[in-house]
Chain A
Amino acid sequence: MNDIRIGVYVCWCGTNIAKMVDVEKIAEELSALPHVVLSRNYKYMCSDPGQDMIIKDIHEHKLNRVVVAACSPRIHELTFRKALQNAGLNPYMFEMANIREQVSWVHTDRDSATKKAKSLVSAAINKVSFHEPLEKRTVEINPATLIIGGGVSGISAALEIADSGRHVFLLEKSDSLGGLAAKIDLNFPYLNSATNLLNPLIKRVNDHEHIELFTNVSVNEIFGYIGNFKTKITLKNGQEKELEFGNIIVATGLKTFNPSAIKEYGYGKYSNVITSLEFESMLKEGKILTKEGKVPRNIAIIHCVGSRNSNYHNYCSRVCCMTALKYANQIRSTLPEAHIYQLYADMRAFGKGCEEFYAETSRKDIVFMMFDQRQDLPSVSALKDKNHSELQICFHELLSGEDVEVHADIVILMVGMEAHEDAKEIAHAVGISLCGNEFYLEKHPKLDPVATTTDGVFIVGTCQSPKDIPDSISQAKAAAARILATILKKTVEVEVTTAVVNEEVCCGCQTCVNVCPYSAISYIEDRKVSFVNEILCKGCGTCGSACPSGAIKSRHFTDQQIMSQIAGLMQMVLKEEV
């Protein structure tokens, strides 16, 4: 074996690590470990000077392995692998120790945090000693894209991609395009018609030579990997059709909160308590009437129904406040004499033009009253004296500090957004994760909001989190741009940390064949050994754990590497006691 020469770099991350971990001490003490040629500490290893230092050291000190102790490898592992590559080293001769997210940010005692960090770096040094160079593999990208969901997000993404001449398969669960936006009358804050906005887009999709639209279809399991996915869909007529594509956009949207869960509001009990979506269809028909067909004199709008309330959903649904203001404007112009009451918990007007819209609406003789979400919710009941209105709402008004009664002929509940009941099923079909609220989880909340941890799968619109139409379209176009960029490159690098069988050791028991979730392992009859198809293998390592004879190596997470990592951890721990 060649001489192992390891460079160790301990990052301060400004004060993020350095204030809780004695980085200088660690760097100094670990320089004594076997194979460690040099050990440094530096303010920001991920900065250009930090990376240049590694590159320079690789050249000057003939390093052939590098350990960086810094943030989570989920953040900067790729950054440093690239630095190694720039210095002419194989990028896999690198290991990272996570001493920020899993040490300095979670501990309060500097001494024990330093000891913990030291043992993690020692483990990384041990592991990297057994690292082997892995060769990058590239596969060709199928230029077609599958888009799941024909709402405003899916449509926008489809047009963006198809306009560049690339093929799009657009799947829609219902029989028509448009999603939730198709159920809306006017948009806030400019009060233009949603139909006028949507219809030209839908027409373009229907007429587009590069968009193949399938309605009334649902998603089956999708197989493959970035560049080379495939699935079977069942068409309306019962026929099966196989689709092949290189990238996937999930744009499955959301559903609205069912307010019958909130007893106080009497939804389902009183026919004139309606949801915002039901009111939209009233507006679309151009008639604001009670269920009895009367023109209402009093209309109350209750905000935050199912949102920002720990009994239902903690998050803000982001569009309800402005939609409620839109209703106030529409009611005011149709019924100039009506009393309009806004019962809000907090007014959120963060979008472009929204604060102005709020200010303008508040001058239209509309009563704004605030209630406390954490205390008693407004309570809707039937009025005994029905001279004026059928319903009354009782609540404690926060700004005046008084208990208030509001009479209403119609009560509109601003229902929040929640994830689809089939969100989980679709997540499994495409291989992505859900966040705590069942919306889809993005790769990085700030730096990579439309990608997922599965390469080639993007999430856009309200399936990722509640959002308005401009934000949904921005995400759709961002994902389209990402996909077009990979299509332009024609090839993409795929997982190299796959499993490999040592045929000398393999006894042919086929345990691995049965445990592989990707059917990537087959049994070769004439040689009586197992064989891993590296294109199909995703590197989970479950075969490696199951192999009774130790014939399968899970590259980059080999038995030897992990055992040495354990030994490295414990050696430091025992030496110093925790």
Chain B
Amino acid sequence: MSFNPKIVAFLCNWCSYTGADLAGTSRMKYAPNIRIIRVMCSGRVEPTFVLSAIKEGADGVLICGCHPGDCHYHEGNYKCLRRYKLLKKYLTQMGYDPERLHLEWISASEGKQFAELVDAFTEKIRSLGALNAKQIIETLT
């Protein structure tokens, strides 16, 4: 069976989730591998959410927030960016390819960009292959 990436995405309510909705209302098409979780702000995305998604079996994690300067809560996206950079280092140290985690700014009007992002990220993860963290963790413990 060919590998179908499993992707969890965290989208902020105001820009990115709205942008993803716009992709829908505009009937744009993208790969069905992504599963979206809505948070109010990308600043709410705790590093443990990302790790938990990997632990539960995700092959890749996407975070989307408002563009710099456009955050509904002024600066939550900057906090997200800081955590993201640290988290990438952490993932590398854990032996994961940091490319499996990606942060992108998607505004409420960027439905097209969102659809293209999902397709590109899905292909990226497809090329990286399965992560199988859940099985590995279960075998080890």
Interface residues in chain A, defined as those with a beta carbon under 8 Å from any beta carbon in chain B: 72-74, 98, 100-103, 105-109, 112-113, 115-116, 119-120, 123, 424, 428, 431, 433-436, 441, 453-454, 497, 515, 517-518, 538-542, 544-546, 554, 557, 559, 562-563, 565-567, 569-571, 573-574, 577-578
Query: Which listed residue, B29, B37, B38, touches A569 by the CB 8 Å rule?
Result: B37
Tell me whether B23 is interfacial, beta carbon within 8 Å: yes
**A102-B20, A105-B24, A557-B44 are contacts. A453–B72 as well, Cβ < 8 Å?**
yes
Asked if residues B29 and A107 are in contact (CB atoms below 8 Å), the reply is yes
Dominant SS among interface residues on chain A: helix
Least Cβ–Cβ distance between A447 and chain B, in angstroms:
13
Q: Which of B36, B47, B108 contacts A441 (CB 8 A)?
A: B108
Residues on the B chain within 8 Å of A115, using CB: 32
* Residues B8 and A559 in contact, CB atoms below 8 Å apart: no
Once A101-B25, A570-B8, A577-B4 are accepted as A-B contacts, the answer to whether A563 and B49 lie under 8 Å apart by CB is yes
5 examples of A-B residue contacts, CB within 8 angstroms: A435-B109, A542-B76, A567-B52, A570-B57, A578-B5
| Cα separation A539 to B40 with both chains bound (whole Å) | 7
Contact present for A538 and B24 (CB under 8 Å) = no
B131 to chain A, nearest CB (A): 12
Other A-B pairs, 11, CB within 8 Å; known A545-B46, A545-B83, A562-B37 = A74-B21, A108-B29, A120-B36, A517-B73, A540-B72, A542-B79, A544-B46, A566-B53, A569-B56, A570-B57, A578-B32
**Is the pair A106, B29 in contact by a Cβ cutoff of 8 Å?**
yes
Instruction: Say if the beta carbon of B70 comes within 8 Å of chain A.
Output: yes
Complex alpha-carbon distance, A29 and B18, angstroms = 29
B38 → chain A, closest Cβ, in Å?
Answer: 7
Q: Which residue of A lies closest to B44 (CB)?
A: A541
Docked Cα-Cα span, A517 to B42, in Å, equals 14
Q: Return chain B residues, CB-CB under 8 Å to A123.
A: 35, 37
CB distance from B124 to the nearest CB of A (A): 16
Most buried by B among A103, A517, A567: A517
Chain A positions within 8 Å of B41 at CB level: 540-542
Q: Which one of A116, A434, A436, A562 contacts B39 once the chains associate, using CB atoms below 8 Å?
A: A562
Q: Is the CB of A570 within 8 A of B48?
A: no
Residue of B nearest to A538 (CB): B73
Number of interface residues of B (CB under 8 A): 56
Interface contact B108-A435, CB-CB below 8 Å: yes
| Chain B residue nearest to A569 in the complex (CB) | B35
Known: A74-B21, A542-B76, A557-B39. Is A107-B69 also a contact (CB below 8 A)? no
Q: Are A566 and B32 closer than 8 Å at their CB atoms? A: no
| Contact in complex: A570, B76 (CB < 8 Å) | no
A100 to B75 alpha-carbon distance, docked (Å): 30
Candidates B8, B30, B76; contact of A540 at CB < 8 Å = B76
Q: Tell me the B residues contacting A by CB distance below 8 Å.
A: 1, 4-6, 8, 13-15, 17-18, 20-21, 23-25, 27-30, 32-33, 35-41, 43-49, 52-53, 56-58, 66, 69-70, 72-76, 79, 83, 107-110, 115, 134
Closest B residue to A113 by CB, please name it.
B32
For B83, the closest partner residue in chain A by CB is A545
Q: Are B24 and A101 in contact (CB under 8 A)?
A: yes
Residues in chain A near residue B28, CB distance under 8 A: 106
The distance in angstroms between the C-alpha atoms of A157 and B114, with both chains bound, is 37
Output the nearest chain A residue to B114 by Cβ-Cβ distance.
Answer: A106
A112 to B43 alpha-carbon distance, docked (Å)? 31
Is A119 in contact with B79, judged by CB distance below 8 angstroms? no
Q: Complex: how many Å from CA A120 to CA B37? A: 9
CB distance from B106 to the nearest CB of A (A): 12
Give Cα distance in the complex from A435 to B108, angstroms: 7
The CA-CA distance from A538 to B46 in the complex, in Å, is 18
Contact assessment for A540 and B44 in the assembled complex, using a CB-CB cutoff below 8 Å = yes
Asked whether A433 and B15 contact (CB < 8 A) given A119-B35, A497-B40, the answer is yes
**Residue on B with the closest CB to A539?**
B40
A101 and B20: CB pair below 8 A? Answer: yes
Contact B21 A566 (CB under 8 A): no
Cα of A72 to Cα of B21 in the assembled complex, Å: 7
Query: In the complex the two chains form, is B79's CB within 8 Å of A102's CB?
Result: no
Nearest chain B CB to A80 CB, angstrom units: 15
Query: Are A569 and B8 CB-contacts (below 8 A) given A540-B41, A541-B43, A559-B46?
Result: yes
Q: Which residues of B contact A573 (CB under 8 A)?
A: 6, 35, 57
- CB B72 to nearest CB in A, in angstroms, measures 7
- B18 A565 Cβ-Cβ under 8 A: no
